[in-house]
Amino acid sequence: MTKRSQASLRFEKFIQLWQGNTTDLVETFLSQDIQLSSSHRGNQRSISQVIDHLKNDFDSNASNNIHISNVVEKSTTEKTQISAYFYGETTLKNTVFFGGMMIVTLNQHLIDDIKIQMNWVDGDKSLISHWSLPLERLWKPKDPKSSAIMSELDAIWHSSENELSPNSHEERIAEAWYRYAWALDLADTSLYMDAFTDDAIVQLPPMGTLTGKREIISTLKAFRMPWPSIQHYGEPLQIDINLEKKTADLMLGRIIPQQAQDTEGQSIYAAHYKIELHLTQTNQWKIHRMNYLPGWIRTQHGEL
């Protein structure tokens, strides 16, 4: 989000509260009737329970950092929703990394619903021994039913028909890839349907060159199934738009949470995508060409 909307500011305050460094009164951004659903520690149904839940996610003596990517904000006459990926670390002598997805809903300018899907953890898991850890394999009978987000019902793209003040072209171009990543990572095939043009061509190792929406979607579906902890964090690095031709080029960096910065604090990316998008008659940007190029790249003060 390039604009600092009131919803994004309240979302940022929630993240600060979660990592334990907020100085704001929670009543200024959380509703009294807030509900929280989390895959790693269950559900809460009041502001006091939610605050207690968030404060006890991490050891009180630990150092915590939570980072956000793949952010999409949509507003209707009834509500504002923010969809985002997160990754973070908590350190107390040793460190554990974690990440997942979330959907935050605001009504009357206050957050009244939070869904947190913890997707993966890596490191010293004794620091989060009170969590229900995500599975690193396909679900089997008698496994816990721990999903907080069911994308087919919860993803913000499924309820944005009456969207107010559509985002800028730059934001919607980035959103096209975020939608693709969400669909892949949460195995929501329905979201793929509008992600690609009918004659799209993508080159994605190890799948190779895929041609046409049918081959792309069927291959991505098969690729995702045995890998439940998959997650694609990304950051737009360059966007070039030609509205006369109704095309755009997007260069996007692939973030690896445990290696998101170099020793000097500069952003680094394990790979990047080169993506061509087309603007449809319904004013939606869709992926037409996409190439995945492995190999580390870095930015200097936010620029390549």
- Residue 293's domain comprises 169-298
Residue 150 in any domain: the answer is yes
Q: Specify whether 224 is located in the same domain as 144.
A: no
Residue 128 in any domain: the answer is yes
pLDDT at 3 over 60: no
| Paired strand residues for 238 | 251
Q: Specify whether 80 is located in the same domain as 175.
A: no
Contact 177, 249 (CB under 8 A): no
Residue 161 in any domain: the answer is no
Task: Look up the pTM and report it.
Answer: 0.94
Residue 304 in any domain: the answer is no
Q: Specify whether 202 is located in the same domain as 114.
A: no
Tokens coding 75 = 């507003």
**Confidence grade of residue 136 (pLDDT, cut at 50, 70, 90):** confident
**pLDDT tens digits, 21-30:** 888 899 999 9
Domain end: 126, 154, 182, which one? 154
Mean pLDDT of the residues in the chain? 92
Tokens coding 42 = 């269950």
Residue type, 208: G
Domain end: 131, 154, 177, which one? 154
**CATH number of the domain residue 149 falls in:** 3.10.450.50
**pLDDT tens digits, 64-82:** 999 999 999 999 888 999 9
- Average confidence (pLDDT) over 269-284: 96
CB proximity list for 46: less than 8 A, separation 6 or greater: 32, 33, 34
**Confidence grade of residue 1 (pLDDT, cut at 50, 70, 90):** very low
| Paired strand residues for 117 | 101
Neighbours of 259 (CB within 10 A): 11
